[in-house]
Amino acid sequence: MRTTPFHERIAPLNRTYLWEHWAGFVTAVAYQHSVATEYFATRNSVAVFDTSPLFKYRIAGPDATAFLAGVFARDIRRCAIGEGHYTVWCNDEGYLLEDGVVLRLGEDEYLATSAEPNLRHFRSLANGHEVTVEDLSDAYGILAVQGPHSVEVIRRISPEAGSLPYFGVTRTSIANHQVVVSRTGFTADLGYEIWIETADALPVWDTLMDAGADYNLIPMGMRALGMARLDGGMLLINADFEPARHAWTDAQRETPDELGLAWMVNLADDRPFVGRRAIEAERANGTSRWKTVGFHVDAAAYEAIYNNDGLAAPKEGVYEETAHSLYDRDFNVDAGAQWVGYATSFGFSPILKRHIGLAKLPLDRCTPGLTAHLELVVNHRPKYVPVEVSKTPFWNPARKTNKEQA
């Protein structure tokens, strides 16, 4: 199993000794026993997450923009130099292969990250374009610095990066080491991601930790990250969707519209991209099978269900990436209740003080405010707690997207 370029520093910090595997790398589940503390660092101070196991690519050449415009479902031509996009790419049938972040560094130069390998995939589409796709996965490590005080920490080590707008990106240096910083992240809060050359990993880490000491900068693990991203209603691969590439059936696969990502797929002009015809047909014929939406649990009802059974309602630490069925009504009260969909992520948000989740529901049940019933097993029995469809992000502080952080 491989370790990331920061392992030497993070290993002694992992007081839980809990590690997991992510894309063939050792990654910390949690650094301290209170996952809530790590989580709150992203809401209250600042946390650092080692996101190096992501696959990293550089796409460059005179045709880079034209090429990527045909690969991504979101129109990369609208991404200015010094900006980034959260984007998706599909197969010919319009099903989502993956999502990822792409950063435009120059007229003809982009960096992209993805959870799964895409070198061969991108290259297979590059045919005929004057473009090179380079695998930088081993050349760089990436640190995500996230939380309200991330801006001060970043400013201390790179004033230039400290003035980035939301989804802005710049080349800069930290302690004389060349880095790329973007104002992006997976925590639903203000934050930055730093691409650091492997050889510079430790000195940059040290510089960052020194700069963050005054702001209680702490490392965060996978579990806290999962909770933070759920606050943002952000999709997690293999939890909220299965990448089409390795799915066996179309029933497993999902389109951007079904994933609630219709906003990023604009068919107004005639830009050809992989999956366009299928998405056009889906929209023309109204064949979306469901939509992925956020929901929140009725807090009082949740309490009552447990209390009625003589139990305290579980909150802190509830975070699941497993399926929970959703019914239209409470099956215990009404035997005519129908299964309508299911939750893919479900958890207690420590900042919102309520349980939230992501679910797949029929199109006529997706309007915010509509209700469904989530199945839980309480005291050996199924119970049905009312939930309400809600807009995502659930948590969306102004500082996350503010033009510039003061």
Partner 1 sequence: MSYDAIVIGGGHNGLVNAAYLAKAGRKTLVLERRHVVGGAAVTEELHPGFNFTTFSYAISLLRPDIVHDLDLVKHGMMVMPLTHHFAPMDNGDYLLLGPDDGENYHEIARHSAEDAEAYRDYGTLMDRVVHAVQPLLDEIPPNIVSTDPVELAAVARLGGHLRSLDPKVLHMLVRLLTGSAADILDEYFETEVLKGLMASSGIIGTKVGPYSQGSGLVLLYHVMGEIDGVFGEWGFHKGGNGGFTQAVARAAQALGAEIRTEASVSNVITRNGEAVGVALESGEELYADVVVSALDPRRTFLQFVDRRELPTDLVEGIESFKFQGTSAKVNFALDALPKYPALGDRTDQYQGFINIGPSMRYLERAFDDAKYGWYSSKPFIDGCIQSVLDPDMSPPGKHIMSCFVQYAPYHLEGSDWDTEKDNFGDTVQSVLEDHFPGFGDLILHREVVTPLDIERTIGLSEGNIFAGEFLTPQMFLFRPAPGWNQYRTPIKGYYQCGSGTHPGGCVMGAPGKLAARQILGDTAP
Residues that bind partner 1 (CB under 8 A): 1-2, 21-25, 117-121, 123, 135, 137, 245-246, 248
Residue holding tokens 């004389």? Answer: 176
Q: How far is the CB of 123 from partner 1 (least distance, A)?
A: 7
Q: How far is the CB of 394 from partner 1 (least distance, A)?
A: 31
Q: How far is the CB of 76 from partner 1 (least distance, A)?
A: 22
In terms of CB distance, is 93 or 388 closer to partner 1?
Answer: 93
Distance CA(146)–CA(303), nearest Å, equals 32
In terms of CB distance, is 246 or 277 closer to partner 1?
Answer: 246
3-class DSSP state of 2: strand
Q: Which residues contact 366 (CB under 8 A, 6 or more apart)?
A: 291, 293, 389
Q: Is 322 exposed, middle or buried (0-12, 13-18, 19+ CB in 10 A)?
A: exposed
In terms of CB distance, is 58 or 324 closer to partner 1?
Answer: 58
In terms of CB distance, is 24 or 369 closer to partner 1?
Answer: 24
| Closest to 194 in 3D by CA, of 111, 135, 122, 114 | 111
Q: How far is the CB of 91 from partner 1 (least distance, A)?
A: 11
In 55-189, which ranges are continuous DSSP H helix?
64-71, 119-125, 150-157, 159-162
Backbone conformation region of residue 176, classed left if phi is above 0, alpha if psi is from -120 to 50, else beta: left
Give the number of residues written for the chain.
Answer: 406
CB burial readout 258-287, b (16+ within 10 A) else e:
bbbbbeebeeeeeeebbbbebbeebbeeee
> Which H helix or E strand runs over 281?
helix 276-285
3-class DSSP state of 307: helix
Distance CA(143)–CA(50), nearest Å, equals 5
Q: How far is the CB of 290 from partner 1 (least distance, A)?
A: 22
In terms of CB distance, is 10 or 133 closer to partner 1?
Answer: 133
Vertex 349, ends 345 and 352: CA angle to 5°? 135
Pairing mode, if any, of strands 47-50 and 218-219?
parallel
In terms of CB distance, is 18 or 119 closer to partner 1?
Answer: 119
Q: How far is the CB of 243 from partner 1 (least distance, A)?
A: 10
Distance CA(112)–CA(118), nearest Å, equals 10
Q: How far is the CB of 104 from partner 1 (least distance, A)?
A: 23
Q: How far is the CB of 86 from partner 1 (least distance, A)?
A: 22
Q: How far is the CB of 29 from partner 1 (least distance, A)?
A: 15
In terms of CB distance, is 74 or 121 closer to partner 1?
Answer: 121
